[in-house]
Amino acid sequence: MAVKEFKLPDIGEGIAEGEIVQWMVEPGQAVQEEDPFVEVMTDKATVTITVPWSGTISELKVAAGDIVPVESVIAVIETAGSAPAPAATPTTKETTTAPAVAANAAAPAAVASPVAPTAVAFEQASPGKVLAAPATRKRAREMSIDLHAIAGTGPSGRVTNEDLQAYVDRGGAVASPTPAATTGTSKSFTPVAIAAAGTEERVPFVGLRRKIAEAMARSKYTATHFSYVDDINVTELVKIRTEAKAIYADQGVNITYLPFIMQAAVKAMKQFPTMNSSLDETTNELVVKHYYNFGIATDTDNGLVVPVIRDVDKKSIVELAFDIQELARKSREGSLGVDDLQNGTFTLTNAGNIGGLFATPVINFPEVSIMGVHKIKKTPVVNNEGEVVVGDVMYLSLSIDHRIVDGATGARWMNVVKDLLETPQRLLLGSL
């Protein structure tokens, strides 16, 4: 028998560590090559890694919920032969971001932001992320040290135990449990123990739920949220959408209100470009984007995900409706790929089918804005003749990062969106 150590593989560009979501094997179990082995979550995706060799599981070196650096040994397998180890092939199962919600939500951002937010996924570096091994993170918490205050000397700037000790030897101050500093970097907090008080159930806070929490916290402690709400008379839009829905029903395309709102948002962004931007804190540059990739915050049985529809400005109402439908299906089935969640520039979160008047969504960091779409209700409105009639009214709620976008800019942007949705014929004609 040969004993082989299995190391956590590099499962994505720029990924330095992953969280063990669940083991699909146990010590002593006989396994075959390509059997499901372990589920790992990163900032960009959840992947299922298969067993690399046939044999018997000798040892699992980490537990579910542990955060493990890439190339760390996570399991030991006894095999019959001693052939060189083949590379493990991770397969994408489900992804996350920001926020969102959302926010990324929001979602923030991430994700992350799957996720986001917030857990929302994005390509640029996350300035709030500190590379450190789980043991180093634990030690820092025990010593009440903020890892953001330490310049790491390990590979890729990773903070090591020696860096912690050197920081203490220099008389470094302990971290203060306060929100982010004005630089936009989120702080660490001392964990709080919750004492048992009666009948209760404890569920491990791991996997997608924890990634969403991280994305939401990063967004709230980094982006300076400002919210703006307006009511929209969508009486004409309801008529047009009802007709379009009937026309395309037999073609298998469900025409919803979101494609109209997405097109209105794009046209407004072309007048106010900073609404489609982000702040690169590593270079202190405002990145104004001339592509329009909109995330749609989607509620699933496993938590909030924010799949992205690309090139919104180049697609028709029907094409956008089809894309929304397909992403919703993939979200429900858990078949979203990493590419489905990357490079979003703006997020929409639709709570109209649930209820409520309006909400203030959390930004899907590092995006600068997110818009909540809410329920359409029959409401008395005053028509052009000054008469009070029954109309269809909905609220749109906009959250913006006030570090980057002024409140007046957000309000003017919303005015353009409102005007287009109240006269939707202009959307169909392709003009402002």
Which of the residues are catalytic?
Answer: 402
Contact in structure between 249 and 242 (CB atoms under 8 Å): no
Which residue shows structure tokens 């979101």? 258
Counting Cβ atoms within 10 Å, is residue 200 exposed (0-12), middle (13-18) or buried (19+)?
exposed
In sequence order, which residues have a C-beta less than 8 Å from that of residue 342 and are 6 or more positions away?
44, 121, 122, 123, 308
Separation of alpha carbons 269 and 414, rounded Å:
10
Q: Is 372 left (phi over 0), alpha (psi -120 to 50) or beta?
A: beta
CA–CA distance from 354 to each of 102, 251, 336, 374, 377 (Å)? Answer: 15, 27, 24, 9, 13
Beta strands in 301-364 (DSSP E): 303-305, 308-309, 346-350
Give how far Cα 26 sits from Cα of 23, 55, 56, 73, Å.
7, 12, 9, 16
Q: Write out the two tokens for 201.
A: 């159930």
The pairing of strands 294-300 and 346-350 is parallel
CA distance 234 to 19: 45
CB 96, CB 121: distance < 8 Å: yes
Angle at 278 between CA 219 and CA 186, to 5 degrees: 30
CB 121 within 8 Å of CB 307: no
Strands 55-60 and 67-69: unpaired
